[in-house]
């Protein structure tokens, strides 16, 4: 067995210090205690104790853990639970407690806890006193601990979360699944998300940045103060470089126990613009003074770039057209669930980049802040989305039940938190909302205006379903840019959308595909087994389409800014076509006759009767484990036209199909492909207009080698082959990096493939594999990309799925200091090879 040595490096924990700066920010993720009540993972109930928020409550038997923590991802998967939320036991009541000390010398400071998100209906107490909470699990929120803090002694924070009656159309996860920070400030400080940088003028020579600041004074008397702003260059690792501008405010009178807003304008010479290729960023540092003393320092990264959605020339970034090649994604990280992890997110974005994806839609909720940091640094455009529904819910207990009371607060939190990110180009207030059919109520316009209260620099949209019946009924005039789900038939076909756009009064409109495709497939399945979908990329649900149809529509109607494909990755839940959730169907009900609707409802009933084990989606271009499906190469051929590539499908291991005709598809960025079977040419094919794959529909199967040679402009462009392999005999372990930090967050993803005696990967092999680890770390989860597999993710023994298996390794946090790192090894063991 080949062993790979992985090293762990010790990370020195960094806390942004500050006695001199007036603000300190502490990581508050570690050493929490947790207990689950109400619905348990096995479906039984455990009564909630009385007064679990009390300082005296006995929590000694609670589970100790670090955040972020998703209490449901360990499962078990339960066949009796709904497939559309992942067959995972996420409903329940979770209590988290943390004991911590606050020093006497902190007396007089303000103490806040910042939650990046907690699922759901969070209520927070400090020392038994309620200090805040937030119901929508995707919103970042702050609680002020100050009134309840014990200075110079122990404090207990308690958080209650409740997902029992919550509704979701996908796996929402459960618990404090994002980071928490403790923030200490002076009584006079920059308010939460209190700095907003806009860039109204940008030229090669100079750019202006307007820095708006909201200051808060908690003291009972007015305070005379001022603030100073400096702008610095910021490198890709967040290193602060040269100062490029500075400015001071005039003296300000901060009202007693109140807030004050002000702004200054600075000029930066020869600004380096933010673009997808050059992700140049700057840092605005605001330093607040009360009289002569510095009382606060607040920093925000930002970028100089212009954005414009045009009527007839798509989307312009810095004045140049950029075709939106986006993907929609839900927030889970596959086998890691919804517990946010920056390393896992970065891996996802690297995979998306590798096939040319340049834009992300945070469907259909407020993302983790780390996603936007990564998008800024790695060069993605972001459609930052708030909700899946407005007042009219889609599931009992979903956002529909919160909308009335919370929508302004949630939109404010989303926009104020995210409005400095250059990657964010669009705000989205919703997705396929039933209110789109009643434009006369003006709800879309109202929500567009709410967003503009907090940011006027970016357009607002929402994803409208069935555009010819909904978004073209007047609703589209209530948003700034027209988001259309599954509209290829509308703008590609009879140019209906073109006519619509050319109507009087519509000159300002521009549109994009907010959701496209919804093609379904299981990686590596060509003649699919039960509850699988073929990887020939020819299956779509009633409302969806194939990638090729969207490509053709965009080619026919280039005024459209581009597309967001449903989806980049497979995700937990919504395993269409083995999904019995009615709400997706109802999203498109406007398109269906009564008879069609009835027929589809009956089909949904049948799905349930068949008891599918499917628990994750089939929509991804990449599977749940992060392994590319064939479709990855179809998008790569379209989205990276200058990258020489050619890909053949299917594999060539069809022992039982000798002499039978097998369809062979080739995806290539070339314009011509010649296919060879065992050295014999099967002919050359040219890419035809509005065709995006090369097809040989009937290739008589004989074992051996299929080879494709792609040409561009008559010259050889790329070559690839697939071979009939021998029997599986060994494993190959390929970690995605060699050094692992012991910071409690870093991860190594180990791709395990099954090889024959000659070292070829066997694409059909499904041996039972057990991964083990020697050293101060843990295999935190494994996966194989099979959407029907009900083995819990923490299990280290599972079969490979179509030749692949994934192990995710984490080092023990702060594992003994030793400057050389910690050598340990991971090994895989073939337990059994099915005959
Ligand atoms: C859309 C919906 C998405 C997802 C998708 C599946 O209609 O907006 O959230 O359900 O269908 O194809």
> Among 370, 432, 745, 766, which one carries the catalytic annotation?
432
Q: Nearest residue CA, atom 6 of ligand 1?
A: 518
CB 203 within 8 A of CB 132: no
Beta pairing class for 381-385 and 672-677: unpaired
pLDDT at 70 over 70: yes
How far does Cα 785 stand from its chain's mean position? 18
pLDDT of residue 834: 57
d(CA 550, CA 485): 11
pLDDT of residue 496: 64
Percent of the chain with pLDDT over 90: 83
Which ligand 1 atom is the nearest neighbour of the CA of 364? 9
Reported as a single tens digit per residue, the pLDDT across 423-442 is 999 999 999 999 999 999 99
Question: Does one domain contain both 825 and 697?
Answer: no
SS (H, E, C) 532-552: CCCCCCCCCCCCCCCHHHHHH
CA distances for 780 relative to 64, 807, 815, angstroms: 16, 8, 16
Question: Does one domain contain both 274 and 368?
Answer: no
Residue 750 inside a domain? The answer is: yes
Place of tokens 């890691």: 336
CB 683 within 8 A of CB 570: no
Both structure tokens of 758:
């000659």
CB 432 within 8 A of CB 485: yes
**Could you tell me if the CB of 567 is within 6 A of ligand 1?**
no
CA distances for 46 relative to 32, 40, 55, 81, 93, angstroms: 21, 7, 22, 19, 10
Q: Nearest residue CA, atom 4 of ligand 1?
A: 584
Reported as a single tens digit per residue, the pLDDT across 562-585 is 999 999 999 999 999 999 888 877
d(CA 132, CA 139): 14
CB 763 within 8 A of CB 653: yes
Residue 307 inside a domain? The answer is: no
Question: Does one domain contain both 200 and 348?
Answer: no
- pLDDT band at residue 607 using 50, 70 and 90 as cut-offs: confident
Q: In what order do the strands lie in the sheet with 315-317?
A: 307-309, 315-317, 320-321
**Residue 580's CB: how many other CB atoms inside 10 A?**
18
φ, ψ at 622 (rounded to 5°): -125, 145
Site to probe by mutation for ligand 1, drawn from 329, 432, 540 as the one with most ligand atoms within 8 Å of Cβ, is 432
d(CA 696, CA 699): 7
Residue 702 known to be catalytic = no
CATH number at residue 441: 3.20.20.80
pLDDT at 18 over 60: no
Domain that holds residue 704: 641-650+654-723
Residue 635 inside a domain? The answer is: no
C-alpha gyration radius of the chain? 27
Segment 641-648 shows an average pLDDT of 98
pTM for the whole structure: 0.96
Residue 283 inside a domain? The answer is: yes
Question: Does one domain contain both 171 and 204?
Answer: no
d(CA 754, CA 637): 27
**Could you tell me if the CB of 230 is within 6 A of ligand 1?**
no
Question: Does one domain contain both 278 and 355?
Answer: no
φ, ψ at 352 (rounded to 5°): -60, -45
pLDDT at 635 over 70: yes
**Residue 199's CB: how many other CB atoms inside 10 A?**
21
**Could you tell me if the CB of 545 is within 6 A of ligand 1?**
no
Residue 104's SS3 state is helix
Question: Does one domain contain both 719 and 731?
Answer: no
Residue 379 inside a domain? The answer is: yes
d(CA 53, CA 123): 10
Contacts of 525 (CB under 8 A, 6+ apart): 532, 533, 534, 535, 802
Question: Does one domain contain both 75 and 115?
Answer: yes
Residue 580 inside a domain? The answer is: no
Question: Does one domain contain both 110 and 202?
Answer: no
Both structure tokens of 188:
């006079």
Residue 432 known to be catalytic = yes
Reported as a single tens digit per residue, the pLDDT across 220-266 is 999 999 999 999 999 999 999 999 999 999 899 999 999 999 999 99
pLDDT of residue 16: 43
Question: Does one domain contain both 143 and 230?
Answer: no
CA distances for 631 relative to 565, 636, 646, angstroms: 11, 8, 12
**Could you tell me if the CB of 587 is within 6 A of ligand 1?**
yes
588 CA distance to ligand 1 middle (Å): 9
Question: Does one domain contain both 266 and 217?
Answer: yes
Which ligand 1 atom is the nearest neighbour of the CA of 584? 10
Question: Does one domain contain both 779 and 806?
Answer: yes
pLDDT-wise least confident of 159-168, 550-559, 734-743 = 734-743
Which ligand 1 atom is the nearest neighbour of the CA of 432? 8
290 preceded by a cis bond (ω within 30 of 0)? no
Residue 310 inside a domain? The answer is: no
Beta pairing class for 359-361 and 324-328: parallel
- pLDDT band at residue 822 using 50, 70 and 90 as cut-offs: very low
Q: Nearest residue CA, atom 10 of ligand 1?
A: 584
Q: Which of 351-365, 740-754, 759-773 has the highest mean pLDDT?
A: 351-365
566 CA distance to ligand 1 middle (Å): 7
Residue 313 inside a domain? The answer is: no
d(CA 112, CA 102): 12
Beta pairing class for 240-248 and 424-431: unpaired
Question: Which of these, 442, 448, 601, 428, lies nearest to 515 by C-alpha position?
Answer: 428
CB 746 within 8 A of CB 811: yes
Q: Nearest residue CA, atom 11 of ligand 1?
A: 584
CATH number at residue 685: 2.60.40.10
**Residue 550's CB: how many other CB atoms inside 10 A?**
25
Positive or negative, the CA dihedral 127, 129, 132, 138 is positive
d(CA 534, CA 556): 28
CA distances for 20 relative to 228, 234, 693, angstroms: 15, 22, 62
How far does Cα 356 stand from its chain's mean position? 17
Which ligand 1 atom is the nearest neighbour of the CA of 388? 9
Beta pairing class for 188-202 and 206-217: antiparallel
Distance between start and end Cα atoms, the chain: 21
Question: Does one domain contain both 376 and 494?
Answer: yes
Residue 750's SS3 state is strand
CA distances for 746 relative to 333, 810, 811, 813, 820, angstroms: 14, 6, 7, 9, 17
Segment 168-194 shows an average pLDDT of 98
Reported as a single tens digit per residue, the pLDDT across 540-563 is 998 899 999 999 999 988 999 999
What total of structural domains would you count in the chain? Answer: 5
76 preceded by a cis bond (ω within 30 of 0)? yes
How far does Cα 107 stand from its chain's mean position? 40
């Amino acid at each position: 067995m080949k062993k790979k040595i992985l090293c762990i490096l010790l990370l020195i924990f960094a806390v942004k210090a500050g006695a001199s700066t007036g603000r300190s920010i502490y990581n508050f993720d570690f050493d929490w205690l947790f207990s689950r009540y109400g619905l348990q993972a096995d479906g039984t109930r455990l009564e909630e104790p009385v007064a679990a928020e009390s300082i005296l409550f006995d929590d000694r038997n609670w589970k100790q853990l670090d955040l972020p923590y998703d209490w449901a991802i360990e499962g078990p998967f339960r066949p009796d639970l709904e497939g559309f939320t992942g067959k995972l036991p996420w409903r329940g009541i979770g209590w988290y407690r943390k004991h911590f000390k606050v020093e006497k010398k902190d007396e007089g400071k303000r103490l806040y806890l910042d939650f990046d998100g907690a699922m759901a209906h969070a209520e927070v107490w400090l020392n038994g006193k309620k200090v805040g909470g937030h119901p929508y699990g995707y919103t970042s929120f702050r609680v002020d601990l100050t009134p309840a803090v014990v200075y110079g002694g122990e404090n207990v924070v308690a958080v209650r979360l409740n997902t029992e009656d919550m509704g979701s159309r996908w796996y929402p996860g459960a618990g404090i699944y994002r980071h928490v920070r403790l923030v200490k400030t002076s009584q006079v400080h920059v308010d939460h998300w209190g700095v907003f940088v806009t860039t109204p003028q940008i030229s090669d020579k100079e750019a202006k940045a307007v820095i708006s600041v909201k200051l808060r004074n908690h003291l009972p008397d007015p305070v005379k103060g001022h603030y100073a702003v400096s702008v610095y260059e910021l490198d890709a690792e967040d290193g602060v470089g040269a100062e490029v501008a500075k400015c001071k405010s005039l003296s300000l009178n901060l009202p007693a126990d109140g807030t004050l807003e002000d702004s200054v304008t600075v000029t930066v010479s020869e600004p380096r613009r933010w673009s997808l290729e050059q992700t140049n960023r700057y840092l605005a540092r605001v330093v607040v003074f009360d009289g002569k003393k510095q009382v606060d320092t607040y920093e925000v990264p930002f970028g100089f770039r212009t954005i414009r959605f045009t009527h007839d020339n798509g989307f312009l970034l810095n004045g140049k057209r950029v075709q939106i090649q986006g993907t929609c994604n839900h927030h889970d990280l596959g086998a890691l669930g919804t517990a946010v992890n920056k390393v896992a997110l970065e891996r996802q974005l690297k995979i998306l980049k590798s096939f040319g994806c340049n834009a992300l839609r945070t469907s259909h909720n407020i993302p983790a802040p780390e996603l936007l940091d990564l998008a800024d640094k790695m060069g993605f455009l972001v459609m930052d989305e708030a909700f899946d529904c407005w007042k009219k819910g889609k599931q009992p207990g979903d956002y529909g039940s919160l909308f009335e009371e919370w929508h302004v607060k949630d939109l404010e939190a989303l926009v104020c938190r995210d409005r400095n990110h250059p990657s964010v180009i669009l705000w989205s207030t919703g997705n396929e909302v039933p209110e789109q059919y009643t434009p006369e109520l003006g709800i879309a316009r109202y929500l567009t205006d709410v967003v503009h209260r907090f940011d006027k620099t970016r357009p607002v949209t929402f994803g409208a379903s069935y555009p010819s019946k909904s978004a073209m009924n007047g609703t589209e005039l209530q948003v700034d840019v027209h988001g259309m789900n599954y509209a290829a038939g509308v703008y590609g076909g009879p140019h209906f959308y073109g006519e619509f756009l050319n109507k009087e009064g519509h000159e300002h409109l521009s549109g994009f595909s907010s959701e496209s495709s919804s093609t379904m497939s299981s990686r590596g399945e060509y003649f699919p087994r039960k509850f699988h979908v073929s990887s020939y990329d020819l299956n779509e649900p009633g409302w969806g389409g194939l990638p090729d149809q969207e490509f053709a529509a965009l080619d026919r109607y280039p005024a459209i800014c581009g597309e967001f494909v449903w989806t980049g990755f497979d995700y937990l839940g919504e395993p269409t076509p083995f999904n019995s959730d009615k709400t997706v169907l109802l999203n498109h009900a406007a398109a269906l006759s009564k008879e069609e609707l009835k027929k589809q409802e009956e089909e949904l009933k049948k799905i349930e009767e068949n008891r599918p084990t499917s628990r994750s989606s089939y929509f991804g271009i990449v599977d749940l484990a992060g392994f590319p499906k064939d479709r990855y190469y179809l998008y790569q051929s379209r989205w990276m036209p200058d990258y020489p590539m050619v890909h053949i499908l299917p594999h060539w291991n069809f022992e039982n199909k000798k002499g039978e005709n097998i369809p062979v598809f080739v995806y290539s960025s070339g314009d011509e492909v010649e296919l060879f079977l065992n050295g014999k040419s099967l002919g050359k094919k040219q890419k035809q207009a509005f065709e995006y794959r090369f097809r040989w529909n009937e290739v008589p199967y004989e074992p051996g080698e299929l080879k494709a040679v792609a040409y561009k402009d008559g010259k050889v462009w790329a070559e690839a082959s697939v071979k009939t392999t021998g029997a599986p005999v060994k494993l190959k372990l390929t970690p995605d990096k060699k050094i692992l930090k012991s910071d409690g967050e870093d991860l190594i993803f180990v791709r395990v493939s099954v090889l024959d005696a000659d070292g070829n990967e066997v694409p059909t092999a499904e041996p039972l594999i057990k991964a083990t680890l020697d050293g101060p770390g843990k295999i935190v989860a494994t996966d194989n990309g099979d959407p029907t597999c009900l083995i819990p993710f923490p299990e280290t023994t599972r079969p490979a799925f179509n030749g692949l298996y994934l192990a995710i390794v984490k080092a023990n946090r702060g594992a003994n200091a030793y400057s050389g790192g910690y050598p340990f090894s991971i090994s895989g063991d073939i337990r059994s090879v099915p005959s």
